[in-house]
Chains A and B, each alone.
Chain A
Amino acid sequence: MTQSWKSAISRRPVLSGLIAALGLAIAGGIAFEVPKLSRRRYKPSPYDDLLANLPDRENAARIGAAVIAESPAFDANQTARALVNSLADNSLAGVVSADLAQGRMDEVHGWLLPQTLTQLCALAAKAS
């Protein structure tokens, strides 16, 4: 009895420690996974690496749909290859700044947008 009481006493912190550790692990896991879970899932596309540059892919895809409607001959693969090159060593912000400095702009339903952004938008639409 004393023994069992003793052992009960001695086992209690171990158990609660284990439960706490498990709880922490689950909570940590959830905290780690939540953004992934809540982030919209897109069906895989060949342009996912490029599209990861877009902070707002839904709105970009809406613009992209307009781009494709205005230029039905839009060649997604060729555009993607060019973008992979230009974004290889530069951030999107840097490439967009260069577009603006050099006057590389596109008009989408009248909206004037930096060319690289327009192209990414069109890929986002293709991918969606």
Chain B
Amino acid sequence: MKAFLDARSIPAGTVLDTDLAIIGGGPAGIALALALANTPIRVLLLESGGEAFEPQTQALYAGSETGTPYLKLENSRLRYLGGSSNHWGGWCRPLDAIDFEQRSWLPHSGWPFSRTELEPYFSRAQSMCEAGPFIYDDPAKWTQSFGASIPLGEGGVYTTYMQFSKTRDSYLPTHFGERYGGDLKRVPNLSVMLHANVTGLRLATNARSLDHLDVATLQGGRFTVRPKYTVLAVGGIENARLLLASNDVVQAGVGNGHDLVGRFFADHPIPGDTATMVLFNGAISNYYQQPQPAFGAYFRAALTPHDAFKNRHAVLCSLATIEGEVQLDGLGQSAVAATASTLGIDAANMRAFTVGCGMELAPDPERRLTLSDERDALGMPRLNLDMRISDSDFARYRDTLKELGRQLLAARTGMIRINHKSRESWLSVMDWGNHHMGTTRMHNDPRQGVVDANSQVHGVSNLYVAGSSVFPTYGASNPTLNLIALTLRLADRLKMVFRS
């Protein structure tokens, strides 16, 4: 087992050679480094932070935000080994098949491949997340052992099951730095260097390949890494920042010949109390409200639209969760009494619950990260995020709630109230998932994507991007399981590249 290297002890002006540089030691960087273990590829992983939180390093993440109110950029991620997994929630769910499809009603939608391309990688990604066996699509397993799902009439919404990352012997989600630190130290062909901030991706003069990386420490050290290949894995926001800020050879930045880097930023809006759900007989299985331990995993149910319904009604994905119990006001009580009696149902034991949600946003090129005039302690330009959410994003989620309400009534199970209509009302309950996606989107056509189907930056032969910044359409599933699966696929690609 070898210790991590520390960039602060590298003499200024040093040039380090390696086969592959991985920039960033979050879930993506760590998954890639471990997937390349015991290959002939010499790997150097450069991580900005140390093994624990350091305020000066974290401050490098600060930026500004305009437009729709959003999280502060420095609060929405963590900059040390393990990255944002040091404070993630551990929710996991694979993307749906439709998330990969190009849809005529959804501009800019679709991945360059279908979900089947990622399927071989899901179970390994799942085990890295320590989220138990991969049994999302097996509802009978959950319902047989843990109680029935909410009866819904035939229609567009169904109960889906999320699984949770949990570190061994704990219900807390896996912190990738802590959990895999020992494994990283044991990989013979890997060196991990902490406190190593990559500040520039320097292209060769013909701009067709990456020549070297500038690395800086907060103590003033500066040195160079000259890798044969590089994978940028610094998170969904920072991936775009490094590409845009590396503008010495190409003024627009690396990979930005078509002005796409930083555009199409996305997150999952998580509005609270989106609806009130009444169940006439008050019965609900525990797994709707709280994660439940089962089969070595934790799982929880959510309500989501079927892919066919999404296509038929032009709605995006959403995962509605049932949260705490609430009391109905007078009108609510009348609505339940009048409806239940009309349906011939005894609602004496009825209970009402508030409904939370994770929503998908439509791709929007104007929702965008750009460099600002501010600079951080290392001289790097800071970012501005211009956040946007359109009224149609809310309207689409409302359509799904309406369908859910219809199915509850049709099954004589319950009914719902949609709690928000106006934009102001939605924004007043808005929170965000901290799932940064889309800023280096994947597309086979360089005019429509920053990276190609292999995650290689268009036009730069030896530079790849890992992480959710490459997601061109986002789904509503939490990104980490999916971005790890995609990274494992990239590892296979790199093994092939090095073999040839």
Contact = CB atoms under 8 A, between A and B. Distances in A.
A105 B337 CA distance: 17
Given A96-B343, A100-B153, A105-B405, A112 B417 contact: yes
B252 interface: no
Name the residue in B332, B333, B335, B419 with the highest tally of chain A Cβ atoms < 10 Å from its Cβ: B335
Contacts of A68: none
Contact of B421 (A55, A93, A110): A110
A69 to B, nearest CB: 11
Nearest to B421: A110
Interface stretch (A7-15, A22-30, A56-64, A79-87): A56-64
A60 B338 contact: yes
Interface stretch (B235-243, B280-288, B408-416): B408-416
A108 B406 contact: no
A48 interface: no
A58 B337 CA distance: 10
Nearest to B420: A110
Contact of A62 (B334, B409, B415, B418): B334
A127 B337 CA distance: 19
Nearest to A120: B342
B410 A100 contact: yes
B330 A112 contact: no
B331 A92 contact: no
Contact of A56 (B153, B276, B341, B405): B341
Given A59-B338, A92-B342, A117-B342, A111 B409 contact: no
A101 to B, nearest CB: 7
A62 B402 CA distance: 22
B338 A112 contact: no
Contacts of B102: none
Contact of A100 (B409, B416, B417): B409
A66 B342 contact: no
Contact of A103 (B339, B341, B406, B416): B406
Nearest to A108: B335
Number of chain B interface residues as a range: 20 to 34
Contacts of B409: 100, 112, 114
B344 interface: yes
B418 A113 contact: no
A57 to B, nearest CB: 9
Contacts of A113: 335, 339, 415
B406 A63 contact: no
A69 B224 CA distance: 70
A113 B337 CA distance: 12
Interface string A89-100: 000110011001
A66 B331 contact: yes
Interface in B395-435: 402, 405-406, 409-410, 415-419, 421
Interface string A36-79: 00000000000000000011101110110010000000000000
B483 to A, nearest CB: 36
Interface string B135-167: 000000000000000000100000000000000
Interface string B324-361: 00000011111101110111100000000000000000
B337 A112 contact: no
Nearest to A110: B417
A63 B418 contact: no
A100 B342 CA distance: 13
A123 interface: no
Q: Which of B276, B334, B417, B418 has the most CB of A within 10 A?
A: B334
A114 B341 CA distance: 13
Contacts of B416: 111-112
B327 to A, nearest CB: 15
Contacts of A54: 338, 341-342
B321 to A, nearest CB: 19
A62 B331 contact: yes
Contact of B341 (A55, A66, A101): A55
B442 to A, nearest CB: 36
A107 B418 contact: yes
Interface string B279-320: 000000000000000000000000000000000000000000
B343 A93 contact: yes
A54 B402 CA distance: 24
Contacts of B344: 93
Interface of B: 153, 275-276, 330-335, 337-339, 341-344, 402, 405-406, 409-410, 415-419, 421
15 contacts: A54-B341, A58-B334, A59-B334, A59-B338, A59-B341, A62-B334, A93-B342, A100-B153, A100-B406, A100-B409, A111-B415, A112-B405, A112-B409, A112-B415, A114-B342
The 7 A-B residue pairs with the shortest CB-CB distance, nearest first, are A112-B405, A59-B334, A55-B341, A62-B334, A56-B341, A59-B337, A110-B417
